[in-house]
């Protein structure tokens, strides 16, 4: 619980103060009854070596989110860091580099950011929320883009621990502006307070995508921007696909609309300025197994004889980015 105190304190004078009515009790519940391996991961976190940077430019929040230079750690400290962080595998979203040690994650999340960044309102001085933030990789990119505070929510306990590991090495001036709460969007009140809300890779995991969009809308302040990224299918305003039990081996995939159908949903819910700004087929270079994620990845989820199809016989994943305002 203590780990959340600084972020909770930051909420008091923020536009999101109403979150304090529900969040502390949810966090208490989380820390009292954590799931699975959470305590083990937290022990790993405590053993991470104390390493510090010397200057601001020892940090880069660019494509590879980097803290520290190789010469600021010994080889044995780097080996210790690697051995401990390996215990937090699978590392899905990144890449990161800590004191000369690269974390080559399953996803090149920097490629997603490159597709998103040209289409978003300036984040300079803004309050930004990332719903389903994973390891928090994009939160650091949002700080790079000038956000005042970035708030990530994701119920994944491993992702929280990975975020804590990276944050541990960030200089205080940056770390105090980056926040992560292990809650799902359905646990958040309608705050109407964020300038920009991102939700990337989450809509297809929601059983009720319209309710999800309505919740995202209720988090934005009037005139705020939603940046939504999700798997879509080819088709017109009337096309929506619901796969069977699995899609590209994922079990919890519900609605896959076409980008045009998704735009209709958003319009019906009262969003304005809706634009489909990007359409992209995920490549085997963008999502792949690495030393840091040794399980199956996209290559195993596609038909080995035809990479345009999934192994279940559906079209391979295409992802769209939509922007809209409240």
Ligand X SMILES: Nc1ncnc2c1ncn2[C@@H]1O[C@H](C[S@+](CC[C@H]([NH3+])C(=O)[O-])CC(=O)[O-])[C@@H](O)[C@H]1O
Could you identify the residue written with the tokens 């696909």? 241
Is residue 108 annotated as involved in ligand binding?
Answer: no
Instruction: Name the minimum Å distance from CB 78 to ligand X.
Output: 26
CB nearer to ligand X: give 99 or 314.
314
Instruction: Name the minimum Å distance from CB 244 to ligand X.
Output: 17
Candidates 73, 200, 263, 266: give the one binding ligand X (CB under 6 A).
Answer: 200
Candidates 16, 78, 93, 141: give the one binding ligand X (CB under 6 A).
Answer: 93
CB nearer to ligand X: give 54 or 211.
211
Site track 110-139 with ligand X (rule: CB under 6 A), x = hit: --x------------------xxxx-----
- Site for ligand X contains 205 (CB under 6 A): yes
Is residue 200 annotated as involved in ligand binding?
Answer: yes
CB nearer to ligand X: give 54 or 296.
296
Is residue 132 annotated as involved in ligand binding?
Answer: yes
Is residue 188 annotated as involved in ligand binding?
Answer: no
Site track 143-182 with ligand X (rule: CB under 6 A), x = hit: ----------xxxx--x-----------------------
Provide the token pair at 172. 């205080």
CB 215 within 8 A of CB 186: yes
Site track 179-198 with ligand X (rule: CB under 6 A), x = hit: -----xxx------------
Is residue 185 annotated as involved in ligand binding?
Answer: yes
Provide the token pair at 307. 């990479």
Collect all residues with Cβ–Cβ distance below 8 Å to 293 and sequence separation of at least 6.
Answer: 89, 90, 91, 92, 105, 106
Compute the C-alpha angle 165/16/110, nearest 5°: 40
- Site for ligand X contains 108 (CB under 6 A): no
Report H helices in the chain. Answer: 5-12, 23-32, 38-47, 75-86, 109-116, 137-144, 157-169, 172-175, 209-219, 259-268, 298-301
Site track 43-72 with ligand X (rule: CB under 6 A), x = hit: ------------------------------
Contacting range for ligand X; rule: CB under 6 A; set: 73-81, 189-197, 200-208, 265-273: 200-208
Is residue 40 annotated as involved in ligand binding?
Answer: no
Is residue 294 annotated as involved in ligand binding?
Answer: no
CB nearer to ligand X: give 68 or 95.
95
Q: Provide the b/e sequence for 174-206 (b: ≥16 CB within 10 Å).
A: beebbbbbbbbbeebbebbbbbbbbbbbbbbbb
CB nearer to ligand X: give 68 or 257.
257
Provide the token pair at 185. 């969007």
Looking only at the bridges linking them, the beta strands covering 93-94 and 107-108 are parallel
DSSP for residue 293: B
Distance set, CA 12 to CA 5, 20, 131 (Å): 11, 8, 21
Instruction: Name the minimum Å distance from CB 157 to ligand X.
Output: 9
- Site for ligand X contains 298 (CB under 6 A): no
Radius of gyration of the chain from its Cα atoms, rounded to whole angstroms: 20
HSE-up (13 A, CA, CB side) for residue 47: 16
CB 200 within 8 A of CB 229: yes
Provide the token pair at 36. 């699975």
**Binding-site residues for carboxy-S-adenosyl-L-methionine:** 93, 107, 112, 132, 185-186, 200, 204, 319
Residues that bind ligand X (CB under 6 A): 93, 109, 112, 131-134, 153-156, 159, 184-186, 200-202, 205
**Binding-site residues:** 93, 107, 112, 132, 185-186, 200, 204, 319
């Amino acid at each position: 619980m203590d780990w959340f105190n600084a972020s909770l304190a930051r909420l008091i004078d923020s536009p999101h103060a109403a979150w304090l009515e529900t969040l502390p009790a949810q966090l208490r519940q989380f820390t009292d009854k954590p799931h699975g391996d959470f305590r083990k991961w937290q022990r790993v976190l405590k053993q991470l070596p104390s390493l510090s940077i010397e200057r601001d430019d020892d940090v880069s929040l660019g494509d590879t989110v980097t803290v520290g230079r190789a010469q600021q750690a010994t080889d044995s400290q780097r080996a210790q860091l690697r051995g401990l962080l390996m215990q937090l595998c699978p590392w899905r979203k990144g890449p990161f580099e800590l004191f000369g040690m690269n974390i080559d994650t399953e996803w090149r999340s920097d490629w997603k950011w490159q597709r998103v960044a040209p289409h978003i309102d300036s984040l300079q001085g803004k309050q930004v929320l990332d719903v389903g933030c994973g390891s928090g990789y994009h939160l650091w990119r949002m700080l790079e883009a000038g956000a005042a505070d970035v708030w990530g929510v994701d119920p994944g306990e491993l992702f929280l621990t990975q975020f804590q590991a990276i944050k541990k090495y960030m200089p205080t001036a940056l770390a105090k502006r980056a926040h992560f709460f292990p809650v799902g969007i359905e646990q958040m009140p309608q705050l109407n307070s964020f300038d920009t809300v991102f939700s990337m890779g989450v809509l297809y995991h929601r059983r009720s995508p319209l309710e999800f969009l309505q919740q995202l809308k209720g988090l934005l302040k009037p005139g705020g921007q939603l940046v939504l990224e999700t798997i879509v299918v080819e088709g017109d305003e009337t096309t929506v696909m619901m796969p069977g039990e699995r899609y590209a081996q994922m079990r919890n995939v519900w609605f896959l609309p076409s980008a045009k159908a998704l735009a209709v949903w958003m319009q019906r819910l009262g969003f304005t300025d809706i634009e489909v700004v990007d359409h992209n087929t995920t490549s085997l270079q963008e999502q792949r197994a690495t030393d840091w994620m040794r399980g199956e990845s996209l290559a195993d989820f596609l038909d080995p004889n035809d990479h345009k199809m999934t192994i279940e016989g559906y079209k391979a994943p295409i992802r769209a980015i939509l922007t809209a305002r409240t």
